[in-house]
Amino acid sequence: MKIWMIAREYAGIAEAGGVKNVVCSLSEELVNLQNDVTLFIPQYGCTDLSKVSDYVEFSKKVFQIETGKKSFEVSFSKGICNGVKIVFIKSEIYSEKHNVYTYCEKDFEKYPNAICGTGYDDMKYLNILFQKAICVYAESFAKEAGGLPEVVHCHDACTAALPAIAKVLFKDVFENTKFVVSIHNAGPCYHHEFANLEEAENFTGLSEEVLSYGLNGQRVEPYVFSSPYSKLSTVSYDYALELLDPNNPNTDGLAELFSSKKIHIEGITNGIDINRYLPENKNISGLPFEFSPSNLLLDGKYKCRNYFLENYAQKKNSNEILDIHGEKIKQYGYLDADTENKNIYISFHGRLVRQKGILIILDLIDMILETYPNVRFIINGQGENALQEMAKRKAKDFSGKVVYLRGYERSLARLCTASGDFSLFPSEFEPCGLEDFIAQIYGTIPVAHATGGLKKIISGKTGFVYSPNTAEKLFGLLSFLIENKSQDKSCYDDIIRLGAVSVSTNYTWKIVAKEKYLPYYR
């Protein structure tokens, strides 16, 4: 099949959230399955072209494209990355950005009043110009570039207006093309909605008749107004069910709209590219020692833990700054020495945002440590300032038992996960979940709230799930696990093994692409 992938981010080229991994791995596996795949992505100031071969301007022609009552100059370049053809959308509005979605320190020269971590003020221009440029490319160059695709796969709300724009404003061009829009996260702040119909008309050029189908109060939702022109999918079977539940409190009204309009959403659980994580090969995993959970060869896992303790967790200086492969990681609190190997380690790696259940973890720490003095907590991540401050205070309050490492560096994140006996996922909602896969690959047992994609964990076999999502309920489950683990260190070895085997057997991207996405496209 000839498939176009539409995304604002892509692993190794322009990285932001988890979408980058999905689009990259799915695209590469589709190519491996003998499909013709082209990725469309803006070319930002932060774009990394080091892995792109045959990079050239597609044409010297510059197009004027209007959106939001402004006109932008746009041109196109192309290249290849691991067999995936890439078309870069070039315009000054992208090249002046040093991040994908949010302001970073490098943007301050251009935007001195920007707040680091907040979304770009001109996000709607970034999104809609990108989507209109793809249509202009299709109209101007598609024939000489090998023809139009059978399927266009749009990823997330920032590309969700494309099916309507293409099918209505470029009807003759895309007459024989089908569209898929994947919902990676339907939570509040992820909709890329328009404030009202007038704003939506100004940006998209679509009529009120088309746009009003997407009304959510006064706001206009791209997922909804494009649904008559596309199929909707999401990143796990159970999240699809949750998105069709009108009582879902975590979609800011989208689930109610999907339900009332009887819009079908296909649930296809994301895969994972295990070859990027293999604990059996430290050159791939980035871990200091090798081990194999699927074969219960775990000695290297516990050597990794000792390495972590000695190098990243036992320094007692407050606000220690760790330089890890050029990334600055700030250490708060520390973990005391575990000379008798009696401690049980509970880890969390992820964004420090409310969706991920950080408040539950912070409450849980008090409850667990008051009852089980042999437990140690490892927290790694960054996010909301208020939550970061709370994590810092918790590490200070429980000196020797809690370490908080603020920041992100890939090898450290993997080491934090691999060092745990259990890994926590108390998310309020979770479309798919990638970190639970990574935990299983590294022999760390996931303990998760039974929501969305986390329901793929088979409780008692590949991990543990619980509900309702309260600190008290999680405390009850962890108490049971801690007591058993304290009595017998190997009591959950079968779960460690089955968790690792389950990921490699059921959730590789090759399986998902071949058995789920290709049939869905057809």
Residue 43 · residue 89 · CB < 8 Å? yes
**∠ Cα 237 243 245 (to 5°):** 110
Q: What is the pLDDT of residue 319?
A: 65
As beta bridge partners, residue 72 has 65
Q: What is the pLDDT of residue 317?
A: 61
Q: DSSP character for 128?
A: H
Q: DSSP character for 468?
A: S
Measure CA 32 to chain center. 23
Which tens digit of pLDDT belongs to each residue from 245-261?
Answer: 999 999 999 999 999 99
Which tens digit of pLDDT belongs to each residue from 313-364?
Answer: 877 665 677 777 777 889 999 999 887 788 999 999 988 989 999 999 999 9
Listed range (337-346, 437-446, 486-495) with the worst mean pLDDT: 337-346
**∠ Cα 448 451 453 (to 5°):** 90
Residue 374 has pLDDT above 90, yes or no: yes
Residue 41 · residue 89 · CB < 8 Å? yes
Residue of higher predicted confidence among 141 and 129: 129
Q: What is the pLDDT of residue 391?
A: 95
Q: What is the pLDDT of residue 16?
A: 82
Query: For domain 274-506, is the CATH number 3.40.50.2000?
Result: yes
- The CATH superfamily of 2-271+510-521 is Glycogen Phosphorylase B; (3.40.50.2000)
Cα separation, 505 vs 38, in Å, equals 28
* % of the chain with per-residue pLDDT over 90: 82
Which tens digit of pLDDT belongs to each residue from 18-61?
Answer: 899 899 999 999 999 999 999 999 999 999 999 999 999 988 89
Check for a shared fold between 2-271+510-521 and 274-506: yes
Residue 360 · residue 469 · CB < 8 Å? yes
Q: What is the pLDDT of residue 228?
A: 97
Q: What is the pLDDT of residue 314?
A: 79
The structural domains of the chain, with segments of one domain joined by +, span 2-271+510-521, 274-506
Q: How confident is residue 446, by pLDDT bands cut at 50, 70 and 90?
A: very high
Picking from 335, 353, 355, the residue whose alpha carbon sits closest to that of residue 345 is: 335
Cα separation, 15 vs 101, in Å, equals 10
What CA–CA distances, in Å, run from 187 to 22, 261, 372?
Answer: 18, 19, 35
Residue 197 · residue 216 · CB < 8 Å? no
Q: What is the pLDDT of residue 409?
A: 87
Q: What is the pLDDT of residue 37?
A: 97
Tokens (6 digits) for 224: 């909804």
Listed range (12-26, 86-100, 280-294, 448-462) with the worst mean pLDDT: 12-26
List Cβ neighbours of 254 (8 Å cut-off, separation of 6 or more).
186, 191, 216, 221, 223, 224, 243
Cα separation, 424 vs 379, in Å, equals 10
